Chain A
Amino acid sequence: MSALLSIKNLHVSVNGNEILKGFNLVIQRGEIHAIMGPNGSGKSTLSYVLAGKEEYEMTEGEIIFNGKNILDLTPEERAREGLFLAFQYPIEIPGVNNVHFLRTALNSIRQHKGLEPIDTSEFLKLVKEKQKSLALPSNLINRSLNDGFSGGEKKKNEIFQLSILNPLLAILDETDSGLDIDALKIVAQGVNSYHNKENAVLVITHYQRLLDYIVPDFVHILYKGKIIKSGDKTLALELEKTGYESFKV
């Protein structure tokens, strides 16, 4: 079977500034990849260009997701094909009920797959189960979407959505930042229970700590828009000791 995600020689510009400059990455089903890199190195840019955010312009290269050229897909089609981005800064949408929103999203994805809208009781069962396993207070999931959520609650809510939408590729953009120690473990458990042989996870993080719980098959170091080094999970440990200095080319 072909790779779930294959990125070749990716160049991305934002407002005329080139941020990614020849980025390459191949992710197979069942794998967990971690990307680490200093602030401003282009990690979020990568996640946005994958998700299809408008101002992130692909000037060169190729991205194939699940056998399809990503440029042929609108952002909502990418999502429905199974690309999920847990945002670094999840936005608040006042007045929009968290669970209703999630149901609308799930049904949009189901419709794309030719499935009927999910049955109400089945959906509520699913919500209940995931809410419990992520230790989310029930009032939280029934509140307005991210509205007034604490930083950590917002991150947890992203993983809650992930676990219900069950995509093929989960991109987690610094989901660990803002989480307390217990929440970090719970969130990591959530990700691990989502993860299986068919799907893949791309974790963006600054800290090796998260990778103790979500154990990556590969770690990549992104520096100034390029991967300068890839390795296994020990690379993260090494990086933690030495910092980015020693990897600069």
Chain B
Amino acid sequence: MSNKIIQEKINKDYEWGWSFDIESEIAPKGLNEEIIRFISYKKNEPEWLLDIRLKSFRYWKELNHPHWAHINFQIPDFQDIIYYAAPKKKTLSSLDEVDPEIIKMFERLGIPLEEQKVLAGVTPNVAIDAVLDSISVKTTFREVLAEKGIIFCSFSEAVQNYPDIVKKYFGSVVPYTDNFYAALNSAVFSDGSFCYIPKGVRCPMELSTYFRINTAGTGQFERTLIIADEDSYVSYLEGCTAPRRDENQLHAAVVEIIAHKNAEVKYSTVQNWFPGNKDGKGGVFNFVTKRGICLEDNSKISWTQVETGSSITWKYPSVILKGNNSVGEFYSIALTNNYQQADTGTKMIHIGKNTRSTIVSKGIAAGYSQNTYRGLVQIRKGTEKSRNFSQCDSLLLSDTCGAHTFPYIEVKDISAIVEHEATTGKISEEQLFYCIQRGIDKEKAISIIVNGYCKDILNKLPMEFAVEAQKLLEISLEGSVG
């Protein structure tokens, strides 16, 4: 029956597929040292940063493109990508100077850039850094945050205003030598968010970055750096969309998180890049390196992700548990439909004593999609009583999709406790029939059941984000029913 109920029929529509006409300054296509110098010059960067870019580029040129099992695709033509596109009329100082078209565009995305509008309602609980193509156009509520000593600004500004902090941490968690796309990003990254929470400060609102690709043919290579000093706490949200275009667009970000003693960082992502059309044409290649380090004792880093977009996703938000008693968490929902391919998971590297990690992954595959969990739990010698618990569940909504699980476990310490659970199942016909018998249509029923299946992870998201994620799951499932 599932064959008949759940099959491709309706062309799913990507709600965020429009683009705005915004006047942009665009670098010529292609990648060479000249372009890199141009980006660095545009951003008025210090010499050391240009050096890193050039070193990264030279290193990258020597690398071969990585090969991943279970993913079929055409390697991007790196000379056919625009590496820098910036809206012309933007300034960083005041909203009045931001192009009204940009404000309108973000408004249509549901991202308010005008602080007074947000304030008119209730007290703000989210500060936003809006990144359009290559650069950050506006960061809201910085003054409120500055009172607490919190720095939340675009990466470019941080380079100008806090070069010492940037220099100290940049590349310390994800060195440019880490992988092909980390090297590429380190060479050409254009902007991103920077956030520093000082000692003893609990960040009073969610910090959020919203990424939007607008210009055709551009790649987005943003760089995010989050530093939580001793005894601090921050919850960080990331959202993203891109216009619907026939060609593939490349998104290769690097996110680095550093948690000092007793600090806690929660990083939540709702990823909704354009997934391509129902025949698998177009869509964003999302090749992202995200990693955090629990640098000192009792620190905690927690990744929560809801991945519904992109035609291809490679992404393994990881935690290096260096400090004693540190905690790493990874909660993931990856939903693929049509011809989407997702290969996602995490690495938990246990180095400190008594470190703990939890992995909960829910993969949902529909249509002709491929959904892979790939994860590594490494417990090094001398970690003393470290633990990991992993649970990887897959739900199949069609007979033509695939779900795969590759849990790698390397345990070098005999006192470690590692538990792994995995399930793979089809959506239950009995559950579907029950919903339908109550008058609910099949598509809605599937979305209800899938949402229920993901409940534990949705609950980890901040409230507003959870609601958005829930809607997104529903939309992404559209057309998965015949």
Query: Which A positions have Cβ atoms within 8 angstroms of B?
Result: 51-55, 75-76, 79-80, 84-85, 87, 90-91, 93-96, 101-102, 104-106, 108-109, 112, 144-145, 161, 165
Interface stretch, picked from B143-151, B228-236, B431-439, is B431-439
Q: Flag B448-465 by CB within 8 Å of A: 1 or 0 each.
A: 110111111000000000
Q: How far is the CB of B449 from chain A (nearest CB, A)?
A: 6
CA distance A93 to B454 in the complex (A): 12
CA distance A95 to B454 in the complex (A): 7
For residue B449, which residues in chain A have a CB less than 8 angstroms away from its CB? 93, 96
Q: Is B428 an interface residue (CB 8 A)?
A: yes
Q: Is B43 an interface residue (CB 8 A)?
A: no
Q: With A54-B1, A101-B448, A104-B448 given, is the CB distance from A93 to B431 under 8 Å?
A: yes
CA distance A54 to B434 in the complex (A): 12
For residue A85, which residues in chain B have a CB less than 8 angstroms away from its CB? 437
CA distance A54 to B430 in the complex (A): 11
Q: Is B441 an interface residue (CB 8 A)?
A: yes
Taking a contact as CB atoms under 8 Å apart, the answer to whether A76 and B439 are in contact is yes
Contact of B448 among A84, A96, A165 (CB under 8 A): A96
CA distance A79 to B440 in the complex (A): 8
CA distance A87 to B1 in the complex (A): 20
Contact of A87 among B429, B434, B444 (CB under 8 A): B434
For residue A109, which residues in chain B have a CB less than 8 angstroms away from its CB? 439
Taking a contact as CB atoms under 8 Å apart, the answer to whether A108 and B451 are in contact is no
Taking a contact as CB atoms under 8 Å apart, the answer to whether B434 and A79 are in contact is no
Task: Report 25 cross-chain contacts, Cβ distance below 8 Å, ordered by A residue.
Answer: A54-B1, A54-B429, A75-B437, A76-B436, A76-B437, A76-B439, A76-B442, A79-B436, A79-B438, A79-B439, A84-B437, A91-B431, A94-B452, A94-B453, A95-B452, A95-B453, A95-B454, A96-B449, A96-B452, A101-B438, A104-B440, A104-B444, A108-B439, A108-B441, A108-B444
CA distance A85 to B435 in the complex (A): 11
Contact of B438 among A53, A95, A112, A165 (CB under 8 A): A165
Q: How far is the CB of A142 from chain B (nearest CB, A)?
A: 13
For residue A112, which residues in chain B have a CB less than 8 angstroms away from its CB? 439
Taking a contact as CB atoms under 8 Å apart, the answer to whether A96 and B444 are in contact is no
List B1-25 residues whose CB lies under 8 Å from chain A: 1, 4
Contact of B451 among A52, A95, A105 (CB under 8 A): A95
CA distance A112 to B448 in the complex (A): 19
Q: How far is the CB of A116 from chain B (nearest CB, A)?
A: 16
12 further A-B pairs in the complex, CB-CB below 8 A; given A91-B430, A96-B452, A96-B455: A51-B437, A55-B1, A76-B437, A79-B436, A79-B438, A80-B439, A91-B428, A95-B453, A95-B456, A105-B435, A108-B439, A108-B440
Q: With A75-B433, A101-B448 given, is the CB distance from A94 to B455 under 8 Å?
A: yes
Q: With A76-B439, A80-B439 given, is the CB distance from A95 to B434 under 8 Å?
A: no
Q: How far is the CB of A184 from chain B (nearest CB, A)?
A: 23
CA distance A61 to B429 in the complex (A): 26
For residue A161, which residues in chain B have a CB less than 8 angstroms away from its CB? 438
Q: How far is the CB of A137 from chain B (nearest CB, A)?
A: 21
CA distance A161 to B435 in the complex (A): 12
For residue A96, which residues in chain B have a CB less than 8 angstroms away from its CB? 448-449, 451-452, 455
CA distance A101 to B435 in the complex (A): 8
CA distance A144 to B452 in the complex (A): 8
CA distance A54 to B448 in the complex (A): 20
CA distance A75 to B442 in the complex (A): 10
For residue B440, which residues in chain A have a CB less than 8 angstroms away from its CB? 76, 104-105, 108
Q: How far is the CB of B131 from chain A (nearest CB, A)?
A: 33
For residue A91, which residues in chain B have a CB less than 8 angstroms away from its CB? 428, 430-431, 434
CA distance A106 to B439 in the complex (A): 8
Q: How far is the CB of B316 from chain A (nearest CB, A)?
A: 26
Q: How far is the CB of B433 from chain A (nearest CB, A)?
A: 6
Instruction: Specify which of A84, A85, A90, A95 lies most central, judged by the most chain B CB atoms within 10 Å of its CB.
Output: A95
Q: How far is the CB of A63 from chain B (nearest CB, A)?
A: 16
CA distance A52 to B431 in the complex (A): 14
For residue A76, which residues in chain B have a CB less than 8 angstroms away from its CB? 436-437, 439-442
CA distance A76 to B438 in the complex (A): 7
